[in-house]
Amino acid sequence: MKTPPTKQLYLKSIKGKGRGVFSTSNIPKGEVIEVCPVIIIPTKEFSELSLTVLMDYSFYFNKGENMLSLTMGFGSMYNHKQYPNAVYLLDREQKQMTFTAHEDIKAHTEICINYGGDYAIDYDKWFTDRNITPI
């Protein structure tokens, strides 16, 4: 059995977007890109966190309870794209998030996810709310 090539993720600055996540090797559709542990931010800390820049890097762990999670690894660094090349799945029981290729991703191509929620419908809103011009 042939061993698949090892992918190495890295961050790269992107004009007009900040930093994005890339891979040194091709990632075939359906392959797990990364499994990231998450740190749970308790509901009682939501108000304070929502006033910080960390809010832009957080995912809802339980939206109904305003409970957030901060994803370790590269998890909180993937940029948004309306039609992404990767998807994510939050496993609340294991307290981890798995990122998987939604399509074949060529080496040195930015890996993007769709943040979901209202922004999946009006994806420019996330950027315009932060005075960023989406690309």
| Rounded alpha-carbon distances, angstroms, from residue 48 to 41, 105, 115 | 11, 37, 22
Q: What is the pTM of this model?
A: 0.78
Please say whether the structural domain 9-128 has been given the CATH code 2.170.270.10: yes
pLDDT at residue 84, as a whole number: 93
Q: What is the pLDDT of residues 113-131, one digit of tens each?
A: 988 744 444 545 555 655 5
Are the C-beta atoms of 100 and 89 separated by less than 8 Å?
yes
For the chain, which residues make up each domain, given as ranges? 9-128
Angle CA 115–119–121, to nearest 5: 115
The total of other beta-carbon atoms located within 10 Å of residue 6's CB is 7
Q: Which of 5-9, 13-17, 86-90 has the highest mean pLDDT?
A: 86-90
